[in-house]
Chain A
Amino acid sequence: MNKTIKSKIHQAYLESIKKENRNIRLVQLFIFISFFLLWEVSSLRGWINPLLFSSPTKIGSLFIEKISDGSLYIHVFFTLGETVLGFILGTLLGTLLAALLWWSPFLSKVLDPYLVVLNAMPKVALGPILIVAIGPNFGSIIAMGILISIIITTLVVYTAFQNVDANYIKVVRSFGGNKKQCFKEVILPACFPNIISSLKVNVGLSWVGVIVGEFLVSKQGLGYMIIYGFQVFNFTLVLMSLLIIAVMATVMYQGVEWLERKLIKHRL
């Protein structure tokens, strides 16, 4: 008797959670559809300037056209590749730099003010210098993607390294472990969640770096498409590129989140 009542109440509880989730999804879907609908209608009726703001159907047909003539793939492919390389390299190099700082407290004290300055400086402004230094190519775009994420990664990961409970290191040292083993057995695995979460931040940062890089130099990529669209006053092309970027950035972010769940499911 008691058991059946309990399971009934539990059922009701699960039901209410399901209902809430369904409502959230419904409202989200509603906002999504009404946004595009409103956009379409206002463009059609001339409430907004169709030349500037285009419309979802125009963007859609341009998208289909670009897909069918195959010219979109190369742009998406380039930008995607640059971004992925940018944020992975940015995170890796940032972590490496953090490891170096952890290894040498002297170095960390020496570099502290420089890191603060570098972090505060708008890295995008270095774009033109990069182009001259590296050349107007793939390399300088990736360098832009790395540059924009490396310092903040270093700072975040180094702080995480420092905040690892010293008693874990005591355990390793009591077994005769050296500094390298302390890093490998404790510091790095303990900060894995922090590294992954800086990866998440870097996904966004790297997109900015790469698109700005493409603005400046590229003959290919979505950033190039945006700049080209501006120059020929084809705002449908600009908005389409933006939408593609939004979708891909979201997918990438979800991918990193999935990775996060996979890798750190045993943590407290």
Chain B
Amino acid sequence: MALLQLKSVGQTYFSKTSATTALEDISLSVQEGEFISLLGPSGCGKSTLLSMIAGLLTPTVGTVTVNNQLVTSPHPKIGYMLQQDYLFPWKTIQDNITLGLKLRNQHSLENVQAAVKLLKEIGLDHTLTKYPSELSGGMRQRVALVRTLATQPKILLLDEPFSALDYQTKLKLEDLVSSTLKEHGKTAILVTHDIGEAIAMSDTVILLSTNPGRIFRTFKMPETLKTLPPFEARQHPDFSATFQQIWEELEHIEQNDKE
């Protein structure tokens, strides 16, 4: 049975002059341990969809369930990682990574130690007493990952988490995030507009169309790419073929959009 299930979810925004449908009829089921990417042009409602899964936004129609439980508010089994790190500059790294534990009332010694261990795994245990301003962009995003993982969510929502980083750092972080999530057996949903990133990291890539956002096509990634770490997957011959395929579909969406 699917861990996460979306049943014909839709979202409409209202303003004084109009009602805009951002998303329509999104149905999706995600298995445990699966890595899914939501790919699409800007304005296709990717981030809106993520906010609804996170329980930050209630869908206008349809339902989101985790383990058959309706998601109505931020679910403890779901972790959310934003485009930028948004570490709190007035807190030390230790206080930053344990923020979720504090808010979720899980601030036990055991959980704090687990968070610190995670920081160590990611190679940043020396920064524990430092402040975010003393860290580089890549380091900060790694700390943000630890903060998200500290509450031990089952599902991770990644909202373009690498978009604010330079290319080299981004490639390194892709590998790190991918291996960390695999090791801890997490399920992940990545929102991105970077085709390469989506292919290299995921098991399934879902293409969204615009106005309103709908599921346009679903691509299962070839087995050869799934098992490789993102950086190596990018070098694999199957990568460019898949890239080409998705690229063409994206072009289709853009053409449909113009008509």
Contact = CB atoms under 8 A, between A and B. Distances in A.
B104 A267 contact: no
B103 A190 contact: no
Interface string A168-200: 101111111100010001100110100000000
B236 to A, nearest CB: 34
Given A167-B84, A267-B133, A268-B133, A172 B103 contact: yes
A267 B89 contact: yes
B102 to A, nearest CB: 8
A266 interface: yes
A170 B104 contact: no
Nearest to B105: A176
A87 B162 CA distance: 46
Contacts of A266: 89-90, 131, 133
A267 B88 CA distance: 10
Interface in A65-118: none
Interface residues of A, number: 21
A185 B133 contact: no
B88 A176 contact: no
Interface in A208-267: 264, 266-267
Contact of B88 (A173, A181, A185): A185
Contact of B103 (A167, A176, A264): A176
Given A172-B103, A175-B151, A190 B90 contact: yes
A189 B79 contact: no
A177 B89 contact: no
Given A186-B88, A189-B88, A266-B133, A175 B82 contact: no
Interface string B123-165: 0000000010100000000000000000100000000000000
B227 interface: no
Nearest to B78: A174
Contacts of A173: 56, 74
Contacts of B247: none
A99 to B, nearest CB: 18
A4 to B, nearest CB: 31
Contacts of A267: 89-90, 133
Nearest to B90: A189
Given A175-B151, A266-B131, A185 B89 contact: no
Residue of A171, A174, A186, A189 with most chain B CB atoms under a 10 A cut-off: A174
B209 to A, nearest CB: 26
A264 B133 CA distance: 12
5 contacts: A176-B103, A177-B103, A185-B88, A189-B90, A266-B133
